[in-house]
Structure 1
Amino acid sequence: MTFLTIAIFFLLLIMGIPIAMVLGIITIIYFLLNGQIMLLDSTPLRMYSSLENFGLLAIPLFMLMGEIMNEGGITARLVQFARVLIGHYKGGLAYVTVVANMFLASILGSANAQAAMMSKVMVPQMEKEGYKREFAASITLASSIIAPIIPPSMIFIIYGTLSSTSIGALFMAGIVPGIIYGLVFIGVISFMGYKQNFPKSERASLKLILKSTIQVLPALLIPITVVVGILMGIFTATESAAVACLIAIIVGLFFYRELDLKKIPKMLISTVTNTATVTYLIIMANIFGWMIAFERIPQLLVDSMLSITESPWVFLLLVNLALLVVGMLLDGIAALIILVPVLMPLVVALNIDPVHFGVIICINLTLGLLTPPVGTGLFIVSSMADVKFETLVKSVFPFIVISFIVLLFLTYIPDLVLFVPKMLGM
């Protein structure tokens, strides 16, 4: 019956049925085929209980914050600030794309949302100043993976909820890896700019730099408040999302005066729709994980993996390679929700720090946004930037390679990830 269930699972995926529905359907089919009718009676309660987690409140709040910042002119000023600072260097607009993504990462926390927004903002501007459209699209897509690494991060919230790991510690652990990725991408652009003679913009005047700095200060209050508030224990990661929303509203209304209150209902509807999509996936993945636990698959996996190796380093290498393949086929959040309950017993058995493992698995699955055939980021940027899918894949390939190399460094030098949480006693 197990093999039949697996076959049906892959058949449903091939048919193009949404992954959330596949998880729920396959769970019900499994219980029916195995005569576990009593478990079906408990399924609704199990679905409801999967949402009884305080940490999940951060998801709609951070989504709402992103909506408010886009409508309130905060996002535009962050991009302009980055451009004024470094736009005059050779390849300056490419650097601006990376740095702006680092700024926005602490606001949107979603690689897909960031890739979509930056494609509309930066790709036309880069093409206008002499960059090839496919390169502009590829650097926009590649640098968007920084979003789920620098706090606040929705994918960290979901991992922390599933693994009972401190979300605050995960947020702090993402700071150094996010900066490393930004610097590495800037290095790649610098090398390519030297080879291809990238264009550069005019140097901004001191007056413009000062003006842009003053304008961006209110916008920077949001990420600073989130990070400092969590560090000082003033509020939890979830509470920080509510505070960030309040600050975004104040900044958009009273500092930049671009937030239109008439658009609030539209922003709320968008937030509710996006939140419902994520929470529906969490619900279905929870009962799917329940089925996996019933089959003792985590325990069997632990036993089989430990029979192959007891080395955490070998295990992490195998996980990275496996997740790279999984990320090519499944959406990152869906894969995370499915795999964390399966892998956490192994993480515990091999004494791997769950915060370190969380950063590794989240980065790895985020790389799936860049990889064909199902990389959602590829489809989004290809559509938004009007670049052929095949052309974009070829152009983004160097960034995929360098991203995986950085991931290996983060995997085997844990202090790069755990330095900040340890320093703060988390």
Structure 2
Amino acid sequence: MISGVGFFLLMIIGVPIAFVLGITALLYVYSTGNIAILQSMPSKMFNGLQNFGLVAIPMFILLGEIMNRGGITNRLIEFSKVIFGHLRGGLAYVNVVANMFLASIIGSANAQTAVMSQVVVPSMEKEGYKRDFSTALTAGSSIMGPLIPPSMPFIIYGVTAGVSIGSLFLAGILPGVLFAIGFGLYIYLIAKKENFPQSERVGWNKAVKSTLYVLPALSIPILIMAGITTGAFTATESAAIAAFFALIVGAFFYRELKWQHLPQILLRTIITTSTVTFLLATSNIFGWVLNFQRIPQLITDAFLFVADNAIVFLLLVNILLLVVGMFLEGVAALILLTPILLPAAASFGVDPVHLGVIIVINLTLGLLTPPVGTVLFIASAIAQVKIEHLVRRLVPFLAISFAILILITYVPWLTQWIPGMFNPQ
């Protein structure tokens, strides 16, 4: 009881989630008087981090930092402009496509929103788009970040659930494309009504030159997926190889990555990795407390009591995740809920890879909704758009996202087709 009250009080006053989990575990020990448990806590924290799959996290963070600093991100955005800029609402399409490209680099909705809000939103406003629409489109499209590989949430889920990270990467591709198609159709439907601008078509010479110039940048996500699908290397190994290749491209091909940039790149990688790793460590002892109290079993029994088939179960899971995602940071919610939902999902025959995609989509949508929607606040702050205006323009994108979420939930083929074609490690 004391630990439960402490958990919610710490959350309410804004204590970082990693400390909330650790302090709650200590409160449980204090309230039960079982001081002997303290001796096992350090080993529990350490043992939970002894997983080869976790090495992929710093590697993919390093990859994203190198590609951003090396000018690779900007090349991908410029390439999108050349291909789609001539259409009515061309820059809006560019926003969506560029988000797809960035998703294959960054793998984080928050980081992706920060980059696109700084680069694309000002360009769209300069061309005549309303700033609140441009910002809403940027924030909404960021949902593709954790879906199209590489993806930090998929890595964390894979390690927590004991599921192939390669399979999760492949499972997220088609859902990510569906979101891009959905947003693209919406742009097409409103382009004339809102009188979106239309740029001139670039000449063939410039298009060919731009394509050739962007090939080294495009080859990096292709290298990752080719290695995973062919079994040449694991998802973790692909991250290291891609980071090395991005270093070569940024330093020697585009010549924007300098040696003096490396200390800052490595420092940012270390800080981000340390934050995630500490959260994983404290979540291990918190999960241990939950298992000690049989919380996962009790929740599984509750699901089995309320739901009598997989359809109802998945509906309840979506509702639970959407609500939790509104109040709890995505990675923390992923770590907490995965061990709880997996046993119940297994009882209804839900594939763990399919469940992982559903969880990640739901928790990413939580980043777009108040009161704790970090993507919402990042986009609002950088683009200088009031939250209430941004939320209003986000409604159509959220409606499209919910529709696609339901489609993915009840059509497992959308997440299982591509992994079924390969046997990723």
Task: Give me the TM-score of the superposition, normalised by structure 2.
Answer: 0.98
**Which residue is 1:386 aligned to?**
384
* Aligned equivalent of 2:296, options 277, 284, 298: 298
* Distance (Å, rounded) in 1 between the aligned partners of 2:3 and 2:68: 44
* Distance (Å, rounded) in 2 between the aligned partners of 1:282 and 1:398: 35
* Distance (Å, rounded) in 2 between the aligned partners of 1:265 and 1:66: 15
What percentage of aligned pairs have identical amino acids?
56
Matched, 1:6 2:4: yes
**Which residue is 1:173 aligned to?**
171
Structure 2 regions of 5+ residues with no counterpart? none
Q: Which amino acid aligns with 1:315?
A: F
In structure 2, the residue corresponding to 1:324 is in which secondary structure? helix
**Which residue is 1:244 aligned to?**
242
Q: Which amino acid aligns with 1:145?
A: I
* Distance (Å, rounded) in 2 between the aligned partners of 1:421 and 1:41: 42
* Distance (Å, rounded) in 1 between the aligned partners of 2:203 and 2:131: 28
**Which residue is 2:265 aligned to?**
267
**Which residue is 2:75 aligned to?**
77
**Which residue is 2:324 aligned to?**
326
Offset of residue 222 of structure 1: 0.4
Please list the CA deviations of residues 256-288 of structure 1 after superposition, one character each: whole Å capped at 9, or x if unmatched. 111111110000000000111111111111111
* Distance (Å, rounded) in 1 between the aligned partners of 2:300 and 2:96: 40
* Distance (Å, rounded) in 2 between the aligned partners of 1:217 and 1:93: 21
Offset of residue 425 of structure 1: 4.4
Q: Which runs of 4 or more aligned residues in structure 1 lie more than 2 Å from their structure 2 counterparts after TM superposition?
A: none
**Which residue is 1:189 aligned to?**
187
In structure 2, the residue corresponding to 1:194 is in which secondary structure? coil
Please list the CA deviations of residues 60-87 of structure 1 after superposition, one character each: whole Å capped at 9, or x if unmatched. 1111111111111111110000000001
**Which residue is 2:308 aligned to?**
310
In structure 2, the residue corresponding to 1:315 is in which secondary structure? helix
Q: Which amino acid aligns with 1:417?
A: T
* Distance (Å, rounded) in 2 between the aligned partners of 1:388 and 1:302: 41
Please list the CA deviations of residues 299-334 of structure 1 after superposition, one character each: whole Å capped at 9, or x if unmatched. 111122112223111111001011111111011101
1:4-403 correspondence runs (5 A): 4-403=2-401
Offset of residue 107 of structure 1: 0.7
Q: Is the 8 A contact 2:148 2:172 kept in 1?
A: yes
Tell which deviates more after alignment, 68-77 or 194-203.
194-203
In structure 2, the residue corresponding to 1:108 is in which secondary structure? coil
In structure 2, the residue corresponding to 1:196 is in which secondary structure? coil
Q: Which amino acid aligns with 2:253?
A: F
* Distance (Å, rounded) in 2 between the aligned partners of 1:51 and 1:93: 43
Tell which deviates more after alignment, 159-168 or 277-286.
277-286
Offset of residue 116 of structure 1: 0.2
Task: Give me the TM-score of the superposition, normalised by structure 1.
Answer: 0.98
In structure 1, the residue corresponding to 2:86 is in which secondary structure? coil
In structure 1, the residue corresponding to 2:197 is in which secondary structure? coil
* Distance (Å, rounded) in 2 between the aligned partners of 1:141 and 1:320: 21
* Distance (Å, rounded) in 2 between the aligned partners of 1:69 and 1:308: 48
Q: Which amino acid aligns with 1:354?
A: P
* Distance (Å, rounded) in 2 between the aligned partners of 1:83 and 1:201: 10
Q: Which amino acid aligns with 1:254?
A: F
Q: How many pairs align?
A: 424
Please list the CA deviations of residues 374-393 of structure 1 after superposition, one character each: whole Å capped at 9, or x if unmatched. 00001111111111111111
* Distance (Å, rounded) in 1 between the aligned partners of 2:140 and 2:163: 28
* Distance (Å, rounded) in 1 between the aligned partners of 2:302 and 2:181: 39
**Which residue is 2:412 aligned to?**
414
Matched, 1:404 2:371: no
In structure 2, the residue corresponding to 1:119 is in which secondary structure? helix
Q: Is the 8 A contact 2:230 2:422 kept in 1?
A: no
* Distance (Å, rounded) in 2 between the aligned partners of 1:103 and 1:144: 11
In structure 2, the residue corresponding to 1:55 is in which secondary structure? helix
CA RMSD across the alignment = 0.9
Q: Which amino acid aligns with 1:409?
A: L
In structure 1, the residue corresponding to 2:193 is in which secondary structure? helix
* Distance (Å, rounded) in 1 between the aligned partners of 2:27 and 2:114: 37
Please list the CA deviations of residues 89-121 of structure 1 after superposition, one character each: whole Å capped at 9, or x if unmatched. 111101001001101111111111100001000
* Distance (Å, rounded) in 2 between the aligned partners of 1:388 and 1:204: 36
Offset of residue 219 of structure 1: 0.5
Offset of residue 35 of structure 1: 1.2
Q: Is the 8 A contact 2:229 2:423 kept in 1?
A: no
Q: Is the 8 A contact 2:103 2:146 kept in 1?
A: yes
* Distance (Å, rounded) in 1 between the aligned partners of 2:384 and 2:349: 47
